[in-house]
Structure 1
Amino acid sequence: MADVQLLEETTSRQALDIAREPTQVPAGPILRPGQNCWRVAQADRASVLIDGAPYFAHLESALRKAQRSILIIGWDFDGSIRLRPDASPEDSPPLGPFLRSLVEERPDLEVRILVWSIAIVHAPGAPGPLIFGADWQNHPRLQVKLDTHHPLYAAHHQKIVCIDDTLAFVGGMDLTVERWDTCRHACDDPIRLKDDGSIYEPVHDLQMAVDGDAARSIAEIGYERWKFATGEELTPSTNGSAPWPSGLVPDFRKAPIAIARTYPAWGEQPAAGEAAALTLDALSAAKKMIYIEAQYMTAPYVGDVLERHLADPDGPEIVVIQTHESHGWAEELVMGTNRDRLIRRLRKCDHHDRLRVYYPVTPDGEGGECQILIHSKLIIIDDVLLRVGSSNLNNRSIGLDSECDAAVEATTEEMRQTIVQLRNRLLAEHLEVDPDVFARTLECEGGSVIKAIDQLNTGGRGLRAFTAMSDNGPDAPATGTGLLDPLEPFEPLSLFRRRRE
C-alpha cells in the first residue's frame, strides 16, 4: 500500500507541474512550434470528417488512388471490416482483401500496417489475423507488424493513415470493428453489426484529412514510428500523386496545420509532450467559448484550467460532451469515477452558471433512449482554434501513450467562420436540428452556446446532464489512479530508488 501511495504522490506532483505551466498565453498565435506543437505545415486542403461513415467512405476513395505507399498506424486493426457496409461486398469488399487487391493491381504499391502489440488482448478487433496472419496478408509488398516498442502498460494510440505521402488522415478512428456509424446514430441500425449479428452501440467520432506539406509531415511521423518498431527505414514517395478523395469538399484551403505528438522516452525514442502543452495553452487562451468532445476527461491539469476560467466573472462558457457508459471494470473504476469527480469539482466553482457537461442520447423506438458513445477527441476554442486527434484528456495521454493531433488556428475571417460552423454542425447533430437552425438560435441568444442548447434540447434525441452535476460526492482523483491511469512509464524499481534518495 505504501508503494502505491508513493507512486500516486509522484504522479500527482507531475500533474501539478503541468498545471503550473503559465496560464497566460503569450500575445499572438496560440500555436508555437517546438513548444506546444512539433511543426506547423501547410495543407492545400483540410477537412474534418464527422462520424465513421463519411471517414471510411472517403478513405476508401483515396485508397483506390494510391500508387506507391499506404501506411496505416493504429491502436487496433481488423481486416474483416468493410469501409462501406451500406454498399454491396462487390463494391466495398473487406478491408484486408481490398488492400491485397490494390497491391496486386499496382506493381509499385507497398502497404504497411503497424498495430499496437497489446491490441491482440485489449482491443475489439479479431486477434487471430494479427497473431497468425490471414490469406490476404500473403504478399511480399503487404506487411502487417505488431509494435512491441513501448513501455509496460503503454498504448500506441495514434490513428494515422498516409497515402503516397501526399494525403494523411489523423484523428480518433482506428480501422477496426465497432467504429462505423452515420450521423443518425440510430439505436437499431441494422448495418451496424457485430460479428455475432447483434447491433453495436451508436458511436460518434472525428478524423481530419490533410494534404500537401502537412500530409508529408504526418507521414514522417509514421515512418519514424515504423523504424522504431521494425528497424526498417522507409524512403518517402516522390511520385507526386494526388489521392484526395473524390467528392470531399475541403473545409480549409491553404491552411497551416499544427501537428502535436506524445511519446514517452523509450530506448532510442525521445520523449515528446507537445499534445498536452497544446491542450493547456489552447484551454488557457479561451475568451468566450470552450467546446470539448472527449471519450475521457479526467486529468487534474485540465480541471485546473477550467476551474480558473469558471472563477473569472468574465470567463468563457464551457460545454463538454463525453461518453457516459464505461466498458469494463478498470475503465469504470478509473475513467468513469474520475470523470464524475472532475465534473463535481468544476460544478462546485461554477458560480456564474457557465458550465455544461452532457452525454448524447437517441430514442430507442420503444419509449426509451440509448446512449451514443463519444469516441472523439476534440477541442474548439472560441472561433480561433480547432484540434482533432487521438489524445484523450486523461493522464496517460500526457506522457505514457503515443498520440498524434492536428490543429488549425484561424488566420483569416473565413477560417474563423469555418471553425464556428464546424462547432455548430457538431452541436446540431447532437440535438438533431439543422445547423442553420442552431446558428439562428445562437444569434437570438446573444451568442450564448449554452442558451442555444437549452432552447433546442427538447427532443428525444439530445443531450443529458451527468448525475455528477447535481450530487455532492467526492471530487478528488480516486485511489489507484496513479496505477491505472499513469502519467509516465511505470518502472517498479524506481519506487525503491526514490525511497533511498
Structure 2
Amino acid sequence: MTMMNVHFFENTIGQTGNGAVSQPARAQAGPILQPDRNCWRVIPADKASVLVDGASYFTHLEAALRRAERSILIIGWDFDGSIRLRPDADPEDSPPLGPLLCSLVEERPELEVRILVWSIAVVHAPGAPGPLIFGAEWQEHPRLHLRLDKHHPLYAAHHQKIVTIDDNLAFVGGMDLTVERWDTRDHACDDPHRVRQDGTAYDPVHDVQMAVSGPAARSVSELAYERWKIATGEELSLSQPAKSDLWPSELTPQFTNAPVAIARTYPAWGEHKAAQEAMALNIDALAAAKKSIYIEAQYMTAPCIGDVLEQHLANPDGPEIIIIQTHESHGWAEQRVMGTNRDRLIRRLRKADRYDRLRAYYPVVPTKDGECQVLIHSKLIIVDDDFLRVGSSNMNNRSIGLDTECDLAIEACNDEIRKTIAHLRNDLLAEHLATSVDSFNSAVSEGGGSLIAAIERLNTCDRRLRTFDAMFDEGPMEPALGTGLLDPLEPFEPLWFLKRMSE
C-alpha cells in the first residue's frame, strides 16, 4: 500500500482516546497471517469446513449438539429457542432448539449449557424478546443458563456468532441461532419451510459459517469463555479433550490439519483493552491480492477498505474484484448509512476502475411474477486461491472498533488448501448463477482464468446476479452526513470534554 493508505489506515483505526492501537498495513512480502498484529493466534484444526447457508449449518449443528457430553456454549447477537434447526424434518425428529437443549441436559448429568445473548437484542433483534427477559419453560433447569451480555459501550453490539461443544468442536461465522436465518442453497422464493412462526414467508437469505475441530476449536472455546467471564463474572475452564469424535458424521471435512487464524474485534471498555485484529486482517489480506478478490458482505462501507481496493483498480496489473452485497436495506438508519454509503463506495471504486476489473452485484431468484432479492448476510473474503476469511465482522466502521466480533481465516500453505479455497469460491459463484461448479470452472478456463468473464458468460438465467445501479449512475462518493453518529469507529464518550480537561 502507498503511504497515503497507510496513514489513512492509521488515522481511521489507529490510536484513539480509548486506548485502541494503530498498526500500518503490512508489507506485501511474507505470509498474511501475523499473530499479535492481524490475528489473536494461528492454531491447527484437525478438521475444518465452510457451511454454506442455514440449512447446512443448522443440520450439522443439531447433529453435533446431540453428541455433546460436557459443555455447550452459545454466544450470539440474538437467540430464539423456538426455532427448529431442521424445519423441513418431522418435529419429533427436530424439536425446537430450546426444548432440544433442555432434553440434552436432562439426559446427560455432566452436560452444562450456557447461552450468552447481546442485551439489546431484546429490543433490536428479530427473535422473541419475552424468553430472553422473563425466561421460558425450557430454561428451567439448573444446568442450563441463559444470560444477557450488558458489558458493552453505548450503541455497541455484541456481534459474535459462536457455538462450542465440549471444547473440541466450534462453529464461527455470520449466523445466529434465531429466526429468519434458515434457508437452502436454492433460495427458492416459495420455499414452504422458510416461514416465520405466524406462517408468513421471509426473504431468501445467504450466509456462511465455519466448523473447526481440535486445537482450533479449543482456542475458540477459550475466547468464548473469556467473553462469558466478562459478561457474567463466572470463570470457566477448558475441559479435558473429548474422548469421542464430535465432528458430524455427514459433514465431509474440506480441510484437514490446516492452520486457522482467529481474529477479534473488541472495543476498549472499562479495564479491557481494544482488539482490532479483524479489520487489520481484512486490510492485509486485500492488499496482498494479485489475481482476484471475492467478497460477500452484508455491509461494505468502510473508507479504509475502499482505499485498498481503489489502489488495486488503479494498478494495470491489479486483481479482479467481485463484490456481492445485500441490495435492500431495512429500517431508516440502515438505509441512511449502510445503503447510502455502500452506493457511495461503489461509485468511488467505479471511478478508480481504469481497466474494467470491478463488478458489484446482488443476487436475485425468480418468482411467478418476476424476481425477489436474496439477502446477503455472509461476511466472507477470498483472496486469490490463497486466503479465506469467514466470520461475524462486516466491512463497516463499527466492525472496526465498536462491536465485538470473531472471524476465522485460513491461508494456504500447500496446493491442496489452494485447490479447496478456489473450489469454495467458484462453488459460491456457481450458486448465485444457478449453475454447477464444474460449469463455472469450465467457463473460467475458457475465459483465460477470468472470474468476471465466467460470470458474464453464465449470468443469463432467471436466477442471476444483478449489477448495482451505483456502477452506472452519478452521485456523491464521500461518506454521508451522519455516518460518524450512526456508524461510528469507536465507542462514544459522552463526558469526553471532562476527560480532556483533566489531561
Normalising by structure 2, what TM-score? 0.95
Change (3 A) 1:467 1:411: same
Contact persistence 2:25–2:280 (CA under 8 A): no
Q: CA deviation at 1:136?
A: 0.1
Q: Which runs of 4+ in 1 moved over 3 A?
A: 11-14, 20-24, 495-501
Match of 2:42 in 1: 40
1:158 to 157, 160, 169: 160
Change (3 A) 1:12 1:165: closer
Is structure 2 residue 343 aligned with structure 1 residue 346? no
2:340 to 304, 322, 337: 337
Q: CA deviation at 1:498?
A: 5.3
Alignment of 1:282-431 (within 5 A): 282-366=285-369, 368-431=370-433
Q: CA deviation at 1:411?
A: 0.5
2:192 to 190, 193, 206: 190
Contact persistence 2:13–2:401 (CA under 8 A): no
Cα-to-partner distance string for 1:372-430 (whole Å, 9 max, x where unaligned): 00000000000000000001000000000000000000001010000000000000000
Contact persistence 2:9–2:24 (CA under 8 A): no
Contact persistence 2:9–2:25 (CA under 8 A): no
In 2, Cα distance between the equivalents of 1:149 and 1:253? 36
1:250 to 249, 253, 264: 253
In 1, Cα distance between the equivalents of 2:27 and 2:226? 31
In 1, Cα distance between the equivalents of 2:313 and 2:113? 49
> What's the secondary structure of 1:492's corresponding residue?
coil
In 1, Cα distance between the equivalents of 2:270 and 2:13? 27
Match of 1:268 in 2: 271
Identical columns (%): 71
| Letter of the 1:487 counterpart | L
> What's the secondary structure of 1:455's corresponding residue?
helix
Is structure 2 residue 272 aligned with structure 1 residue 280? no
Match of 2:80 in 1: 78
Cα-to-partner distance string for 1:106-135 (whole Å, 9 max, x where unaligned): 000000000000000000000000000000
Change (3 A) 1:483 1:194: same
| Letter of the 1:15 counterpart | T
In 2, Cα distance between the equivalents of 1:97 and 1:14? 49
Q: CA deviation at 1:492?
A: 1.6
Q: CA deviation at 1:270?
A: 1.9
Is structure 2 residue 18 aligned with structure 1 residue 15? no
Alignment of 1:18-29 (within 5 A): 22-23=24-25, 25-29=27-31
Change (3 A) 1:416 1:239: closer
Cα-to-partner distance string for 1:438-488 (whole Å, 9 max, x where unaligned): 001000001100000000000100100101111110000000000000010
User: Which stretch of the first structure deviates more once superposed, 70-79 or 183-192?
Assistant: 183-192
Q: CA deviation at 1:246?
A: 1.5
**Unmatched tracts of structure 2, length 5 or more:** 1-7, 16-21
Cα-to-partner distance string for 1:124-164 (whole Å, 9 max, x where unaligned): 00000000000000000000000000000000000000000
Q: CA deviation at 1:25?
A: 2.8
Contact persistence 2:10–2:24 (CA under 8 A): no
| Letter of the 2:312 counterpart | H
Match of 1:231 in 2: 233
| Letter of the 1:211 counterpart | S
In 1, Cα distance between the equivalents of 2:287 and 2:9? 21
Count of paired positions: 490
Cα-to-partner distance string for 1:140-199 (whole Å, 9 max, x where unaligned): 000000000000000000000000000000000000000000000011111001122110
Contact persistence 2:13–2:489 (CA under 8 A): no
In 2, Cα distance between the equivalents of 1:12 and 1:491? 22
1:115 to 114, 117, 134: 117
1:451 to 443, 450, 453: 453
Contact persistence 1:14–1:487 (CA under 8 A): no
| Letter of the 1:404 counterpart | C
In 2, Cα distance between the equivalents of 1:464 and 1:262? 32
Change (3 A) 1:499 1:484: farther
In 2, Cα distance between the equivalents of 1:217 and 1:338? 35
User: Which stretch of the first structure deviates more once superposed, 96-105 or 237-246?
Assistant: 237-246
Q: CA deviation at 1:14?
A: 3.7
In 2, Cα distance between the equivalents of 1:381 and 1:329? 33
Q: CA deviation at 1:16?
A: 7.2
> What's the secondary structure of 2:263's corresponding residue?
strand
> What's the secondary structure of 2:212's corresponding residue?
strand
In 2, Cα distance between the equivalents of 1:305 and 1:126? 40
Q: CA deviation at 1:319?
A: 0.2
**Unmatched tracts of structure 1, length 5 or more:** 1-10
In 1, Cα distance between the equivalents of 2:23 and 2:167? 35
Match of 1:147 in 2: 149
In 2, Cα distance between the equivalents of 1:74 and 1:158? 5
Contact persistence 1:201–1:372 (CA under 8 A): yes
> What's the secondary structure of 2:29's corresponding residue?
coil
Change (3 A) 1:422 1:495: farther
Change (3 A) 1:304 1:495: farther
Q: CA deviation at 1:40?
A: 0.5
In 2, Cα distance between the equivalents of 1:483 and 1:229? 26
Contact persistence 1:228–1:269 (CA under 8 A): no
In 1, Cα distance between the equivalents of 2:85 and 2:397? 32
In 2, Cα distance between the equivalents of 1:457 and 1:384? 26
Contact persistence 2:297–2:377 (CA under 8 A): yes
